[in-house]
Structure 1
Amino acid sequence: MESFDFIVIGGGMMGAPCARYLAEAGHRVALVCPPEPARYADSAGPFASHWDAARITRHVASDPVWARASARSIARYSDLEARSGRRIYHETGALMAGLRDGPLADWTAGFLRVADGVEGAARLDAAEVRDRLGIALPVGAVSSFEATGGGWMDPRAMRAAQTELAQAAGATLIPQAATARAGGTVTLADGSRLAGGHVVVATGPHAGSDGLLPARPAMTVWARTVAFARLSEAEGARLAALPSLIWVPEGWDHDLYMLPPVRYPDGRLYLKIGGQKDGPTIGSGGAMRDWFHGTGDPQVGARLLAEMRRVLPGLDVEAERLGPCAVVWSRTGYPYIERLDEHVTVLCGGNGASAKCGDEWGRLGAVAATGGDPSGEGYPEGFAAAWD
Structure 2
Amino acid sequence: MERFDFVVIGGGMMGAPCARHLAEAGHRVALVAAPEPAVKAEWQGPFGSHFDAARITRQVAADPDWALLSQRSIARYGDLEARSGQTIFREVGALMAGPTDGPLAGFTEGFLAVAQSVEGAEILSAGDIWEALGLALPDESEVCLERRGGGWIDPRAMRHAQVMLAAHAGARIVPQAAVARNGDVVALADGERIGGDEIVVATGPHAGSDGLLPLVPSMKVWARTIALARISETMARRLAGMPSVIWVPEGWDHDLYLLPPVRYPDGHLYLKIGGQLDSPRIHSAADMRDWFHGTGDAAVGARLMTQMRELMPDLKVQATHTEPCAVVWTDTGFPYVARVAEGLTVLTGGNGAAAKCGDELGRLGAMVARGQDISGEGYATDFRAVWVP
Aligned position for 1:6: 6
Aligned position for 2:367: 367
Distance 2:303 2:332 in 1: 29
Aligned position for 1:251: 251
Does the residue aligned with 1:26 lie in a helix, a strand or coil? coil
Does 2:174 align with 1:169?
no
Does the residue aligned with 1:282 lie in a helix, a strand or coil? coil
Aligned position for 1:150: 150
Does the residue aligned with 1:162 lie in a helix, a strand or coil? helix
For 1:109-133, what per-residue CA distance to the aligned partner results, in whole angstroms no more than 9, with x for missing partners? 1011001111110011110010011
Aligned position for 2:203: 203
Runs of 4 or more, structure 1, over 6 Å off, are: none
The alignment covers a number of residue pairs equal to 388
Letter of the aligned partner of 2:268 in structure 1?
R
Q: TM-score, normalised by structure 1?
A: 0.99
Contact in 2 for aligned 1:375/1:383 (Cα 8 Å): no
For 1:322-375, what per-residue CA distance to the aligned partner results, in whole angstroms no more than 9, with x for missing partners? 000000000000000011222210000000011000000000000000001223
Contact in 2 for aligned 1:99/1:140 (Cα 8 Å): yes
For 1:175-222, what per-residue CA distance to the aligned partner results, in whole angstroms no more than 9, with x for missing partners? 100011111100001111001111000000000000101110000000
Identity %: 66
Distance 1:38 1:249 in 2: 37
Unaligned runs of 5+ in 2: none
CA RMSD, aligned part only? 0.6
For 1:130-183, what per-residue CA distance to the aligned partner results, in whole angstroms no more than 9, with x for missing partners? 001111001111110001110001100000000000000000000100011111
Mapping of residues 311-322 of structure 1, within 5 Å: 311-322=311-322
Distance 1:199 1:372 in 2: 15
Distance 1:45 1:100 in 2: 45
Distance 1:338 1:173 in 2: 23
Aligned position for 1:337: 337
Distance 1:310 1:364 in 2: 40
Aligned position for 1:119: 119
Distance 1:45 1:375 in 2: 36
Contact in 2 for aligned 1:221/1:327 (Cα 8 Å): yes
Mapping of residues 198-347 of structure 1, within 5 Å: 198-347=198-347
Aligned position for 1:35: 35
For 1:17-43, what per-residue CA distance to the aligned partner results, in whole angstroms no more than 9, with x for missing partners? 000000000100000001100121111
Letter of the aligned partner of 1:312 in structure 2?
M
Contact in 2 for aligned 1:292/1:325 (Cα 8 Å): yes
Aligned position for 1:185: 185
Aligned position for 2:20: 20
Aligned position for 2:67: 67
Does 2:382 align with 1:387?
no
Deviation at 1:252, TM superposition (A): 0.5
Distance 1:357 1:263 in 2: 23
Distance 2:234 2:322 in 1: 23
Distance 2:379 2:297 in 1: 38
Q: TM-score, normalised by structure 2?
A: 0.99
Letter of the aligned partner of 1:371 in structure 2?
G
Letter of the aligned partner of 1:72 in structure 2?
R
Distance 1:131 1:149 in 2: 22
Letter of the aligned partner of 2:23 in structure 1?
A
Deviation at 1:45, TM superposition (A): 2.3
Letter of the aligned partner of 1:154 in structure 2?
D
Aligned position for 1:46: 46
Letter of the aligned partner of 1:328 in structure 2?
V
Does the residue aligned with 2:375 lie in a helix, a strand or coil? helix
